Amino acid sequence: MNDELNTKEIVIATDGSAGSYVAVEQGVWLAKMLEAKVTFVSVARAPFAVLGDPYYQRALTADLTKARAAIADAIYAAEERHVPYETEILEGSPADKILEVARAHGAELIVIGSRGRGAVTGALLGSVSSDVVHRSDRAVLVARPGTRVRDREPVLGAIA
């Protein structure tokens, strides 16, 4: 049998927030237990072009810098646990891009963090995790800050 056909795939979304650190921790732990490969995805939101090119470029550069830092932390977690990984840094709507990556990679699971804003604030400001859960055609694990995998020490130093 071809091993590629049996390879399990998990997409882990990360943006550097507390919730995404927990998502990385839990997703990498699951990947290790399931002998799965992970694809880390970080999405820079496209700024409003109407504000002008200099603002657009500065805002996009800042978001891409945050995305690269989030991916770097995620890579550390995967390497620490010897989990094979790929990375994708994209620009656009986070929920759309996360779902696109999951479909493109044939992922069985998406792991995404929650900012813990609550129902009212999430409804007013929008929630990427909620959008992914409601639109996904595959399993989604929403990781919340303050939770750990099986009471183990976190992989990332930023999680206390």
Residue 153: inside a domain, yes or no?
no
Residue 109: inside a domain, yes or no?
yes
| pLDDT tens track for 37-53 | 999 999 988 766 666 67
Nearest to 83 by CA among 143, 40, 38: 38
| pLDDT tens track for 117-153 | 444 434 433 589 989 999 999 999 999 877 555 544 4
Tell me, what's the pLDDT at 60?
Answer: 82
Residue 154: inside a domain, yes or no?
no
| pLDDT tens track for 88-103 | 999 999 999 999 999 9
- Containing structural domain, residue 25: 3-143
Read off the pLDDT of each residue in 58-73 and give the average, rounded to a whole number. Answer: 91
Give backbone dihedrals phi and psi of 82, rounded to 5 degrees, phi first.
Answer: 60, 45
113: enclosing H helix or E strand: strand 109-113
Give backbone dihedrals phi and psi of 157, rounded to 5 degrees, phi first.
Answer: -65, -20
Number of domain units in the chain: 1
Collapsing DSSP states into helix, strand and coil, what is residue 76? helix
Residue 24: pLDDT band (50, 70, 90) is very high
Read off the pLDDT of each residue in 70-91 and give the average, rounded to a whole number. Answer: 96
Residue 91: inside a domain, yes or no?
yes
> Could you tell me the CATH number of the domain that includes residue 96?
3.40.50.620
Residue 117: inside a domain, yes or no?
yes
At 90, the amino acid letter reads L
Read off the pLDDT of each residue in 60-76 and give the average, rounded to a whole number. Answer: 93
Residue 17: inside a domain, yes or no?
yes
Q: Beta-carbon neighbour count of residue 160 at 10 Å?
A: 5
Tell me, what's the pLDDT at 151?
Answer: 46
145: which residues sit within 8 A by CB, 6+ positions away?
Answer: 18, 19, 21, 22, 113, 114, 115, 116
* Rounded (10°) angle between helices 53-80 and 18-34: 40
Residue 159: inside a domain, yes or no?
no
